[in-house]
Amino acid sequence: MIVAERKPFDEILSMIGNARKVLILGCGSCVTVCMAGGEKETQLLASTIRLSDKKQNITRELRCATIERQCDKEFFAAVANDVKWADIIVSMACGVGVQFCGEVFTDKEVVPALNTKFYGATVEQGVWSERCVGCGDCVLFKFGGICPIARCSKSLLNGPCGGSQNGMCEVDPENIQCGWQLIYDRMAAIGRLDLLEQNQPLKNWSTGRDGGPRRVVKEDATL
């Protein structure tokens, strides 16, 4: 899923500025699961804004709504009236949802309440960790299913570097596991250390971000 976390409150408030009718729009998919921008989080943000406004004698109306996804157009119809009413939309979706919301409601200002972080997994309750950077040409089969691009701090395809100590990465030895230690351990466990004997050639990054904004067309699904 896409993992995000909420921006600091003051930043959100400054983006809202003088808008007096504010729609806080949650997303019911990834950011609900990572507890950053679902229904509960819209309520918490709304409550905090109302308390702050009351303290500062600001009169402002807030509405909260959460749609199934903000990355598919059809779900926005449910909030069309709220959007019409609002001066500004505070989207609690990932960066994709924020932009798409603006593409659907072209005459509205849409601002992001979250910082979108990465594609990751829930490693324990309340803890999410990065697993993939969407390089566009998956090479997991060469590395025992552990991504050297996402999980090595330097995205080395022929690792490890000299900074690997006790299974941890020199970039942050307290918190970041060395991706290459993980790859080695996994390859040993599945009996495929032979694969690591091969030197990996340069990767073609044009399938990734370096090739510019990407798109996928699935012909049999188009209308």
Q: Which positions lie near ligand SF4, rule CB under 6 A? A: 132-135, 138-140, 147, 149-150, 152-154, 156, 159-161, 163-164, 169-171, 178-180
Shorter beta-carbon distance to another protein: residue 50 or 142 = 50
Q: How far is the CB of 4 from another protein (least distance, A)?
A: 17
Stretch touching another protein by CB under 8 A, among 44-52, 68-76, 102-110, 207-215 = 44-52
Both tokens assigned to 51? 């308390």
Nearest to 73 by CA among 101, 50, 49: 101
Site residues (CB under 8 A) for another protein, limited to 6-25: 9-10
Which residue is it, tokens 């060395």?
Answer: 178
Residues 45-84 binding another protein (CB under 8 A) are: 47-52, 54-56
Contact partners, residue 204, CB within 8 Å, separation at least 6: 137
Among 43, 115, 129, 177, binds another protein (CB under 8 A): 43
Per partner kind, with CB cut-offs from 5 to 8 A, the member of ligand SF4, another protein, none near residue 47 is another protein
Q: In b/e form, how buried is each residue of 32-69, taking b as 16+ CB within 10 angstroms?
A: bebbbbbeebbeebbeebeeebeeeeeebebbbbbbeb
Which of 19, 168 has the CB closer to ligand SF4?
Answer: 168
Q: List the structure tokens of 200.
A: 């990996």
Shortest Cβ 81–another protein spacing (Å): 24
**N-terminal to C-terminal alpha carbon distance within the chain:** 27
User: Could you tell me the smallest distance in angstroms from the CB atom of residue 145 to another protein?
Assistant: 33
In this complex, which beta carbon is closest to ligand SF4, that of residue 78 or of residue 139? Answer: 139
* 139 CB neighbour count, 10 Å cutoff: 13
Neighbour-count burial of 136, counting CB atoms closer than 10 A to its CB (0-12 exposed, 13-18 middle, 19+ buried): middle
**Alpha helix locations (H) across the chain?**
9-16, 30-33, 39-55, 80-85, 95-104, 148-151, 179-189
Binding segment for another protein (CB under 8 A), chosen from 22-30, 37-45, 174-182, 201-209, is 37-45
Q: Which does 171 bind (CB under 5 to 8 A by kind): another protein, ligand SF4, none?
A: ligand SF4
Minimum Å gap between C-beta 47 and another protein is: 4
127 binds another protein (CB under 8 A): no
Using CB under 8 A, list all residues that contact another protein.
9-10, 40, 43-44, 47-52, 54-56
